[in-house]
Structure 1
Amino acid sequence: MRIPPFAFKVLYHLRRMYWRIAKPTIHGVKALIMHPVDDDRFLLVRHSYGDQSLWSLPGGGYKPDRETPEQAARRECVEELGVELDPSASVIDEHVTTNGSRPGYLKVVRLRAISEVLHPNGEISQARWVAVDLTELPDDSAVSEWVHSTLEAHARRPDAQEGGMTA
């Protein structure tokens, strides 16, 4: 059963309300999904909730006692995009964020797609393979701050690129 996009919008607002009240510690992952054959291309998405004009990286939350960041990134990408992924993965960047008075922890994981075929669910309104220099996006496209910092981390961490990724 496919979940309609409006349901993701409702859940997004409920989750934000919960965060404001409970102020939980949040663990999240963002995924830099590299193109299956072109090392200079990666995947950007637009979500069907929040700022729908913003190009971002796929990802979501996870519980560190249940899965690793690599497992969480893989799970989120398969759920959101139906993308087939190479078994290798590596954490290339880490951030401490703040949500009110509580810290949040974000890990950025690099993965490689096996195929460029995608099957997005209702959470994703648009997905696109783009060049790492972002020149293929229209000039008026808004891009998440995480995209820029992730691409910087990707450039700094060539050791974890093709052939050097760890599972």
Structure 2
Amino acid sequence: MRIPPFAFRLLYRLRRVYWRIAKPTTHGVKVLIIHPVDTGRVLLVRHSYGNQSLWSLPGGGYEPTRETPEQAARRECTEELGIESESCALLLEEHLTSFEGKQGYQKVVRLHAISDDLAPNGEIAEARWVAVDLADLPGTPAVSTWVHTALKAYAKS
């Protein structure tokens, strides 16, 4: 069953209210997905909720008692984009955040896609393979700081 984009927007708003009240500790992953043939290309997304004009990395939350950041990264890519990746993942960065009233442990993981075929779900407004210099994004795009962080770490790896 495909969840419509408006449902993601509603859940996003409810989650933000909850974070401000409960101030939970969360764990999340952001995934730098490398093109299967051209390692100079990565996958960026625009979500259907939050700042919908912002190009970002796919990802999401996870429970560290149930899965590793690498497993969560692979799961999120399959759920959000219908994309399969190689089983080996590399943890590029770890960050502690205090965004929106919550304390978050954010991991940035690198995966290599097996195929460049995409089947985005309702959470993704647009997905696009782009050059690592971001030159082929249309216009003057807004790009998440997570993208820049991941690309710097990727260049060093």
Query: What TM-score do the two structures reach when normalised by structure 1?
Result: 0.91
Alpha-carbon distance between aligned partners in 2 of 1:37 and 1:95, rounded to the nearest angstrom: 30
Output the CA distance in 1 between the equivalents of 2:104 and 2:60: 12
Deviation at 1:100, TM superposition (A): 5.7
Counterpart secondary structure, 1:18: helix
Q: Structure 1 stretches of 5 or more lacking a match?
A: 158-167
What does the per-residue CA deviation read over 1:74-125, in whole Å, with 9 as the maximum and x for residues that have no partner?
1111000000111111101111111366531110110011100000000001
Aligned equivalents of 2:100, 2:30: Cα separation in 1: 21
Q: Quick one: distance in 1 between partners of 2:79 and 2:25?
A: 23
Answer whether contact 1:89 1:111 (CA < 8 A) is retained.
yes
Matched residue, 1:116: 116
Are the equivalent residues in 2 in contact too, given 1:69–1:107 (CA < 8 A)? yes
- Counterpart of 1:7, as a letter, is A
Q: Does 1:151 align with 2:151?
A: yes
Deviates more, 1:20-29 or 1:135-144: 135-144
| Partner Cα distance (2:100, 2:81) in 1 | 30
DSSP-derived class of the 1:85 partner: coil
Query: What whole-Å deviation, never above 9, does each CA across 1:13-59 have from its counterpart, x for those lacking one?
Result: 01101100100001110000000000100000000000000000000
Matching residue of 1:38: 38
Aligned residue for 1:163? none
Contact 1:23–1:101, Cα closer than 8 Å, also in 2? yes
Would you identify which runs of 4 or more consecutive aligned residues in structure 1 move more than 6 Å? none
Alignment of 1:18-97 (within 5 A): 18-97=18-97
Q: Which moved more, 1:98-107 or 1:76-85?
A: 98-107
Gaps of 5+ in 2: none
TM-score by length of 2: 0.97
In structure 2, C-alpha distance between the alignment counterparts of 1:103 and 1:4, rounded to whole Å: 29
Q: Secondary structure at the match of 2:88?
A: strand
Task: Answer yes or no: is the 8 Å Cα contact 1:29–1:107 preserved in 2.
Answer: yes
* CA-based RMSD: 1.0
